[in-house]
């Protein structure tokens, strides 16, 4: 039996989830929602780093993330369970339809991660996805402006933008929804 050779990871693979966890814990303070938020932001950081390196969002991280999101929602936000399930299903379906319309532009890992994000964030997945789409568009347009038409054949790791949106959803999702409801 031979041991697996570990792959060399970029420094951000561990630094990103660690920084996300420390930031959420520092901003939120001790709170029951940390059971939901800390594993979520740690996984988002790891997934973003892996997506940059490999253009992949591994099922071995995304599936347990979604399962923990469901279990933690049952523990700390039982009254919001239906909202979180609807949000997860809705986010998954939106990205699935995008992936069907343009398969080269959206991977199924992105689709599954969006579903997991909805399970964690509930309605706050809406501003999270808007941030992901907006930031991905800004970066994509910037690359096209810099590199020209050849950049249109290039791919971007959308998991990075989903992770950014997920962090916005954790920190400001509820406030953004409240703000939008007043407009």
Residue spans per domain, the chain: 12-175
129-157 pLDDT per residue, tens: 999 999 999 999 999 999 988 888 888 99
Show the CA angle centred on residue 96, arms to residues 101 and 122, nearest 5°. Answer: 140
Rounded CA-CA distance 45/51 in Å is 10
**pLDDT for 47:** 94
Q: Residue 115's CB: how many other CB atoms inside 10 A?
A: 24
Residue 104 has pLDDT above 90, yes or no: no
3 pLDDT tier (thresholds 50, 70, 90): very low
- DSSP 8-state code for residue 30: S
Higher-pLDDT residue of 125, 19: 125
4 pLDDT tier (thresholds 50, 70, 90): very low
Residue 5 has pLDDT above 50, yes or no: no
Write down the mean pLDDT value for the chain: 88
Taking the CA atoms of residue 69, residue 72, residue 78 and residue 79 in that order, the dihedral angle to the nearest 10 degrees is -50
pTM of this prediction?
0.87
Mean pLDDT calculated for residue range 64-91: 95
Cα torsion angle, 94, 68, 9, 142, sign: positive
């Amino acid at each position: 039996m031979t041991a697996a050779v570990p792959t060399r990871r970029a420094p951000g693979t561990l630094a990103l989830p660690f920084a996300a966890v420390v930031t959420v814990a520092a901003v939120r303070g001790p709170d029951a929602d940390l059971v939901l938020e800390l594993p979520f932001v740690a996984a988002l950081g790891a997934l973003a780093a892996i997506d940059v390196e490999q253009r992949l969002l591994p099922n071995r991280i995304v599936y347990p993330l979604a399962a923990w999101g469901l279990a933690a929602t049952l523990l700390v936000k039982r009254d919001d369970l239906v909202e979180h399930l609807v949000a997860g299903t809705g986010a998954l379906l939106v990205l699935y339809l995008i992936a069907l319309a343009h398969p080269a532009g959206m991977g199924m890992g992105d689709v599954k991660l969006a579903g997991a994000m909805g399970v964690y964030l509930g309605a706050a997945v809406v501003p999270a996805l808007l941030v992901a789409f907006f930031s991905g568009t800004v970066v994509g347009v910037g690359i096209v402006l810099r590199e020209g038409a050849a950049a249109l054949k290039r791919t971007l790791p959308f998991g990075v933008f989903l992770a950014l949106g997920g962090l916005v959803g954790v920190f400001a999702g509820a406030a953004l929804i409240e703000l939008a409801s007043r407009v």
